[in-house]
Structure 1
Amino acid sequence: MTWTRRASDVISGLLLNLATGMAALALVAMLLVSLALIPVAGIGLPLLDRLRMLVRSLARIQRAWVSVALDSDSPWRAAGSDKRDLAWLAVHACTWPFPPLVIWGLLVAFDYIFTRVSVVQPTRVTAFALSVSVAAIATVTLAALPLLRTGQARLSALLLRPATSPAARIRQLTKSRAEVVDAQAAELRRIERDLHDGAQAKLVAIRMNLGLARNIRDPAQVQMMIDEAHEVAGEALTDLRDLVRGIHPPVLADRGLAGAVQAAALLCPVPVEVQIDLPGRLEAPVESAVYFAAAEALTNVAKHSGASRVWLRVSHAAGLLRVAVRDDGRGGADIAAGTGLRGIDRRLSAFDGRLILNSPAGGPTQLIMELPCALS
């Protein structure tokens, strides 16, 4: 790498940290205001949720820069947690003025020497002293810039890197994969049972009716048995369609996640306000997992929350898909106490996603699903 390219990277990195530092300071102030507004219904929690998204986006930008500054494409680059993001935000909001102050101090020293020493009666000694001083300050400045950049990058890496060790991460992934395999096996058993007890039984009945009708001479009785077989065939077809819809809904294949989520919202007995910001399609397995997770979340709201209204928002930004489901129900939801929420968590963990639940007693309840993924 040439010195001009290195100088450009150092300066651009310092300018980026200057911008993220001022943004961090503003976000800290807004977070404090939103915490004070939590008792105000309809303002505090939605504002806090939006600010949380901004904090994650800012931390994601910092992670990407850190991976470049430290020449490390580590797996923690796209990972994160609310606690670590907030810790980095608070520290960054306090430490970002340090590099500009150091540079400003060096420039003040240079200005002092140039304006005060140079006005002395010029002699060879003062000229030499001035040259040495200017060269020393320039050297210190050039050496300080990359050190400040590296220091900021290492501090951010220390705060933003996940606390789990690689071994713990491997154990976590192994556990999530095992849960997914168990869930898939249970799903296959359910499909086999539904086929055996539903469509297969009806097809056997149709075959028996047609076999009996072949040996009957009475036309009226034959017609009756054919009509019965026709009716059972319709029921078997309905069972097969329901089964296919449970595996991969046709609306998901035709209209994508946005259309499928809107269709699920229309079927929910509780009024749902849907907001979707999804400019592209996801990979089919991700779409299917997110659709069934969102549908399960709406089902839980209808069954257990006692809510009169639901707000569902789907968005994608900076490589992260986010689905937020909020209701005005009684609250008190717990992942450990409900099979539906555990099922959502298992679906998301298969794609390195996470489930965030905020459901105080008395409500409201907010369920946030996040998955790292790319749009096609």
Structure 2
Amino acid sequence: MIRERMRRAKAWIDAQVRPEGEAADLWALLLAALRATGYGIVGAGFAFLALYTIPLLLLTTVLAFLGIGRFLIRPMARWVRTVAGLERARLRRLGHEVKTPYLGPYIDTPRTFRELRADPSVRRDLTWLAIHGTWGLILGALLLQMPFTAVHDVTYPLWWVFAPDSEQNILNGLVSADTATAALLGCATGVAVFALWILYGTKILDLQARPGVAFLGPDPGMDLSEKVARLTATRAAALDAHAVELRRIERALHDGAQNRIVGVNVLIGAARREIERDPKRADQILERAQDTVEGALAELRAVVRSILPPVLEDRGLAGALSALASDCAVPCTLEVDVEGRCPASVEATAYFVVAESLTNVAKHSRASSASVEVRRKGNTLTVTVSDDGRGGADAAGGSGLAGIARRVEALDGTVAVQSPAGGPTEIRVELPCGS
């Protein structure tokens, strides 16, 4: 008997609470539909860019075949990568893991038809461009129209008699409604469209995003031999980077601290000879020896910091990068969103990337401002350094970008450099952090 009463009491409580739960679910659906509509409109904007890019690509192709427009191949390839990059950023905001396909030999934009044919990322970008410029635009327009159509049709019975004959319609002009009965039907269609919007808005957004997820990442059908070649190249890069680092440390010790210590040895020998003959002179020599020892210690500390900066251990990646940004000769903003600690090798590489990039900014870019953004999402640490300088950065020109690439490739990371003539410059590095 007691159990039966408890069951009835529980059923009554559930019946009282359920309306609030349903209201909360409806509110969550409404917010999800609004979010989907917002991202769908952004996707429609990118679809407009893709749609208007298609005739430009056709014109560039014709001019290049005629031999008078070959210089347009690289700018158009960069533009396609820019539009695709905007869509990748949107997809990442939606929670999709879309990695850059511009890796290894394809990190630079193609310059000729031969390079275009050899680059698999070009074919995938162009496929996405054609699909998103049509299908994505239609879905974005549908997401935008649904809430407006719902509001229009629900309120239509209140004002249809005042509307001109050309405006007396429902379902976005698909159905004529010039009678009271048809106006009441508009209210029903508005409710139906609203229900479809809140229930299927996120599904429509997912359909709009599918081509980008499928085509804007690395080619899943990459040949195994190419993967092995890339792995071999990264391991060779790791060994080269290790050898270069050892040579740098050897030079720093041989030309700096070692010479100073030899000088100290000579000075101490001279001081011993002068102790009995001229103690004052011996004291001066010992003072010079002390100064030389202090210089040698300073150089040794600098070498140690270049191997693994102690500030990383003491203050973490955020603190170490904050010190770099504050010491930069160009005004620099810093944003770090990294929870916990990354592996020591990853933090050291990220620190080196930022340090070398800011050094290049100060020396070569003629920039008035720079920014550093470091984020960790999942098992990937992304470092982005940008400036508003003159651009034209090229790893083949012997700049510090080559050293950055070697360091990053040694950890199986990727480097993407965008630095058109006239600027701005952006260096984006992705480093795997492990689990």
Q: TM-score, normalised by structure 1?
A: 0.63
Deviation >6 Å, runs of 4+:
18-24, 33-36, 45-50, 80-83, 155-159
Verify: 1:53 aligned to 2:85, yes or no: no
Residue equivalent to 2:270: 212
Contact 1:87 1:159 in 2 (8 A): no
SS in 2 for 1:362: coil
Could you tell me how far apart the structure 1 residues matched to 2:343 and 2:401 are?
23
> What do you get for the CA RMSD once the two structures are aligned?
4.0
Asked if the contact 2:317/2:351 (under 8 Å) is kept, the reply is yes
Listed one character per residue, the Cα deviations across residues 203-235 of structure 1 (whole Å, up to 9, x for unaligned) are 122122222322330211221121111111111
SS of equivalent to 2:428: strand
Alpha-carbon shift at residue 323 of structure 1 (Å): 1.3
- Is 1:263 aligned with 2:323? yes
CA distance in 1, matches of 2:121, 2:36: 19
Give the aligned partner of residue 253 of structure 1.
Answer: 313
Q: 1:28·1:89 contact (CA, 8 Å) conserved in 2?
A: no
Partner SS for 2:382: strand
Q: Could you list the runs of 5+ residues in structure 2 that have no partner in the other structure?
A: 1-31, 52-80, 100-119, 140-209
Distance 1:277 1:292 in 2: 18
Check 1:56–1:207 CA distance in 2 against 1; reply closer, same or farther (3 A cut).
same
Q: CA deviation at 1:248?
A: 1.2
Q: Which stretch of structure 1 is more off in the superposition, 333-342 or 285-294?
A: 333-342
- Whether the 8 Å contact between 1:55 and 1:89 is mirrored in structure 2 is no
* One-letter amino acid of the counterpart of residue 43, structure 2: V
CA contact (8 A) 2:50 2:129 kept: no
Number of residue pairs matched? Answer: 280
State the SS of the aligned residue for 1:316.
Answer: strand
Is 1:284 paired with 2:320? no
Contact 1:329 1:365 in 2 (8 A): yes
Residue 315 in structure 1 maps to residue 375 in structure 2: yes
Which structure 2 residues correspond to residues 227-242 of structure 1 after superposition, within 5 A? Answer: 227-242=287-302
Deviation at 1:30, TM superposition (A): 4.3
Aligned residue among 242, 258, 261 for 1:200: 258
* Residues 84, 264 of structure 1: alpha-carbon distance in 2 compared, 3 angstrom cutoff: farther
Residues 327 and 157 (structure 1), Cα distance of their counterparts in 2 relative to 1, 3 Å cut: closer
Please, which of 235, 241, 256 is the counterpart of residue 183 of structure 1? Answer: 241
Q: In structure 2, what is the equivalent of residue 360 of structure 1? A: 420
The letter of the residue matching 2:399 is: T
TM-aligned CA distance change 1:325 to 1:82, over 3 Å: farther
Alignment-mate amino acid for residue 342 of structure 1:
A
Cα distance per residue 1:245-279 (max 9 Å; x no partner): 11111111111111111111112111101111112
Q: Name the aligned partner's letter for residue 360 of structure 1.
A: P
TM-superposed CA distance for 1:338, in Å, is 3.6
Q: Which deviates more, 308-317 or 358-367?
A: 358-367
TM-score (norm 2): 0.55
SS at 2:400's partner residue?
A: helix
Q: Conserved in 1, the CA contact under 8 Å of 2:349 and 2:407?
A: yes
* 1:71 matched residue in structure 2: none
CA contact (8 A) 1:55 1:86 kept: no
The Cα offsets for residues 147-184 of structure 1, whole Å up to 9 and x where unpaired, read as xxxxxx9x977885435311101111211221221121
Residues 326-373 of structure 1: per-residue CA shift (max 9 Å, x gap): 211111222332431121111111222111122222111121111222
